[in-house]
Structure 1
Amino acid sequence: MIAIRRSADRGHADHGWLDTYHTFSFADYYDPRHMGFRNLRVINEDRVKPGVGFPTHPHRDMEIISYVLEGALAHRDSMGTGSVIRPGDVQRMSAGTGITHSEFNHSKDAPLHFFQIWILPERTGIAPGYEQKFFPDQEKRGCLRIVASPDGRDGSVTINQDARLYATLLDPGEEIVHRLPAGQHAWVQVARGKLLVNGHLLEAGDGAAVSNEDLLRLMAKEAAEALVFELP
């Protein structure tokens, strides 16, 4: 079974400095039909103007992943971490018992476009943590490159949940067939381009919840970038 979440149906807010789309309920956007999928709680697609961003604010008991599509994201947190996340980087911040952080567009003249993802942790009250790794485009082309997992498999960042995140870049006409582990669900989020997901056409910003399917078949109708979540 596949349920499509169209880009235009997402929650949307334009704050001037920030243009944001919410796949699931978030902040002032609330829809009881879209509170998350399995342990995937948030997918926000944010576009931030140059030189501005999110001032210091708190989080707790959440696995937070940032995936930059364009530009550079400057990060600072109460653990003393200061970093810049660029396309190809995957950042994981475990909020755990509590953390504060800020996020800003690192550039004074170029826009920032990124996904912020929240995954519920397997347990509350863990120690806060931070990790950031770079995955070059060639590792994602024509395949699913695992970028986050519970065991840090194949150099992925480690998350405190039995969930896996893959990234892929596909050329027009290119196809991937991925077997889903027994009992696992999937969420496919298209970042760019057009993609057939088990025969359903998805465009940039669209997502698909996949349940009770043995195979995930992705075929690019045009050059595409997508994220694939495996979820219990």
Structure 2
Amino acid sequence: MSASSALKFIPRRSGSRGWADHSWLKTYHTFNFASYYDPNYESWGPLRVINEDRVDAGTGFGLHRHREFQIWSYIVDGELEHKDSLGNTEIMKRGDVQMTSTGTGIAHSEYNRNKKQQVHFLQIWALPNKSGLSPTYYNRHFTDEEKRDKLVKVVAPAGSEGCSDERNASGPTPVHAALTMYASILSPKSTLKHTLAPTTTKALVHNIMRSGYRSPSTAASDKYEDGGAMVQLNSGLILEEGDGAFIQVNKTSDGSREIEFKNVGERDAEFLVFEMED
């Protein structure tokens, strides 16, 4: 950690993530999930799951139950059908962010009804800041144009400014956790700067594997033709597609809380930024 910065960056390389190929489902796990376990990756603040999933055409996750989690999907490509025990049915497409506050319990399914196209999405889980909530469902949409060379707040704490509790509305999706998520599509050679909030104690950056799927076993020999999307952080750390970085905030430091994102590749870089409080 430099004297001028309050931030420490810890890389989470794509090839070291948990990984599974179930034929119909190809998935990466940033944190412990299913049969993947590493004591170093149990959680980060309220975050418990970041799964980057690709589900084949005509397949999906059957009806299953959850409780006491905040679960949301960020659709990268394709279409994903959501059905739940509240009576909601939704076909989610690129740009959609769908939030389920499972509360006291909800059953849902996620299925790719498209017969030709795979769906690529991130599923994210966080612990709520209170238990016993009534199950609720929200859907939001953010265009590529909105995210172009900007950080757009797509998830924010419920009740915060501009965060509506309506099922479908503009603005960020409400989450019952001390967590904010931003999304960006950064053009080649472009730079963004973002200062973490004074109350933020942890952050995380994830560079989405947008240019195509690579398994850990073939990543070294199956590089994207032009290197793929690469985001350089102000620490000098370069995140290739699928890579992430945990960010620790030194709460006693007077140093800068600013993160600089620079696209040093030849493709658009689509990435997510999470800000959290312990």
User: What range is the shorter-chain TM-score in?
Assistant: over 0.9
Aligned counterpart, 2:188: 172
Q: Scaled by the length of structure 2, what TM-score is found?
A: 0.81
Give structure 1 regions of 4+ aligned residues with deviation exceeding 6 angstroms: none
Give the alignment partner of residue 245 of structure 2, picking from 195, 201, 208. Answer: 208
1:38 equivalenced with 2:48 (yes/no): no
Cα offset, 1:205, TM superposition: 0.8
Say whether residues 1:101 and 2:116 are aligned partners: no
- Tell me how far apart the structure 2 counterparts of residues 31 and 149 of structure 1 sit (CA, whole Å): 29
Q: Using the alignment, how far apart are the partners of 1:175 and 1:200 within structure 2?
A: 14
**SS of alignment partner, residue 155 of structure 1:** coil
Q: Percent identity?
A: 44
What residue is the counterpart of 2:90 in the other structure? 83
Q: How far does the alpha carbon of each residue in 1:124-152 deviate from its partner, in whole angstroms, 9 at most, with x for none?
A: 11000000011111111111000010121
Residue equivalent to 2:5? none
Normalised by the length of structure 1, the TM-score is 0.97
Q: By how many angstroms is 1:103 displaced?
A: 0.3
Q: Deviations over 1:133-180 (max 9, x none)?
A: 111111111110000101217711111112101000000111111011
List gaps (5 residues or longer) in structure 1. none
CA positional deviation for 1:108: 0.7
Work out which of the residue numbers 28, 33, 38 in structure 2 matches 1:26: 33
Instruction: Compute the displacement of 1:183 (Å).
Output: 4.0
Report SS of the residue matched to 1:225: strand
Which of the numbers 200, 203, 212 marks the counterpart of 1:186? 203
User: In the alignment, what sits opposite 2:20?
Assistant: 13
Give the counterpart letter for 2:41 in structure 1.
H
In the alignment, what sits opposite 1:49? 56
| Higher Cα Rg, which structure | 2
Q: State the alpha-carbon separation in 1 of the partners of residues 82 and 246 from structure 2.
A: 30
- Structure 2 distance, partners of 1:183, 1:102, is 36
| 1:106, distance to aligned residue in structure 2 (A) | 2.5
Q: Alignment RMSD, CA only? A: 1.1
Q: Is the contact made by 2:46 and 2:178 (CA closer than 8 Å) also made in structure 1?
A: no
In 1, the alpha carbon distance for the partners of 2:76 and 2:113 equals 14
**C-alpha offsets along residues 66-88 of structure 1, whole Å, 9 cap, x if unaligned?**
01111000010000000011111
> Going by fraction, where is strand more abundant, 1 or 2?
1
Contact 2:74 2:121 in 1 (8 A): yes
Higher relative CO (Cα under 8 Å, sequence separation at least 6) belongs to: 2
Tell me the residue number matched to 1:148.
155
Distance in 1 (CA, whole Å) between partners of 2:11 and 2:273 is: 14
Structure 2's unaligned 5+ residue stretches are 1-7, 165-169, 211-228, 250-255
Q: What is the number of residues matched between the two proteins?
A: 232
CA distance in 2, matches of 1:28, 1:147: 30
Q: Distance in 2 between matches of 1:124 and 1:211?
A: 27
148-157 vs 20-29, which moves further? 148-157
Q: Assess if the C-alpha contact under 8 Å between 2:230 and 2:240 holds in 1.
A: yes
Q: Which amino acid aligns with 2:152?
A: R
